[in-house]
Amino acid sequence: MLSVKSLQFLEDLKANNNRDWFLDNKKRYEEYKKEYHQLIQDFLEILKPQDASLELLEVKNCTFRINRDIRFSKNKDPYKTHMGIWMNTNHGNNNGPGYYIHIEKGNCFFAGGMYGPENDDLRKIRKEIAFFYEDLEAILGEAKFKKVYSGLNVTETNSLKNGPKDFEKDHPAIEFLKLKSFVSIHKFDDSKLTKPNFVKDTAAKLILLKPLLEFLNRGLYTE
């Protein structure tokens, strides 16, 4: 769980996103960071015994720097005002399949899959889907999975209007093959963050994504 103090820090930072305020509130940030790292540790302790691919992960592998990269952004706010936790199932690929938790007032969610794979990885995943789409359909259609996730996330930006040129237009899995990211998402209410069972309940829903991540990894690393 998270304390109200940590959540309030993020809200105050959102309202005062500048270096002077941040330096004046450095002690609050250090308290926030300590709680952030403990939250990651709590998730790892529950998830590692259930997913061996996470075994080598340490807290430092799952964090994001609070400083934003503003070099190529019109938004010059120097700090992130949300908390993110990324648990990657493959250390050899920085953008491998994994579990993600996003904490932000009014926009909390957890998710899993692979976001924006590089072209080579995208081709491998599409090939896996083309040959074994029934496996993917079974994963997404599993009863417990469906209670939490509504399939793979589809948006205007992560899906092609037409199928990829390497596949028949009437391929049975054409809607999957159009995707450029392969992610399932579950949004939740902010009030759950401060509940004592937040980590346990969220981890139980995250682990339902394991078969999806295994399918994606199979496509990436099986000849």
pLDDT of residue 94: 74
Helix, coil or strand: residue 179: strand
pLDDT of residue 92: 66
Domain ranges of the chain: 4-221
Q: Return the structure tokens found at 54.
A: 């996470």
Q: Return the structure tokens found at 133.
A: 């789409």
Handedness of CA 130, 133, 135, 140 (dihedral sign): positive
**How far apart, in whole angstroms, are the C-alpha atoms of residue 35 and residue 32?**
5
pTM (2 decimals)?
Answer: 0.96
Q: How far is CA 14 from the centre of its chain?
A: 22
DSSP β-bridge partners for residue 182: 114
The CATH code of the domain at 4-221 is 3.30.1460.10
- Angle, CA 17 vertex, CA 11 and CA 21 arms, to 5°: 95
Could you report the average pLDDT of every consecutive run of 10 residues in the chain (223 residues)?
97 98 98 98 98 96 96 94 96 84 98 96 97 98 98 95 93 97 98 97 98 97 83
pLDDT of residue 90: 83
Name the residue among 149, 94, 158 with its Cα closest to residue 121: 94
Q: Which residues contact 44 (CB under 8 A, 6 or more apart)?
A: 54, 57, 59, 62, 87
Q: Return the structure tokens found at 53.
A: 């691919």
**How far apart, in whole angstroms, are the C-alpha atoms of residue 7 and residue 13?**
10
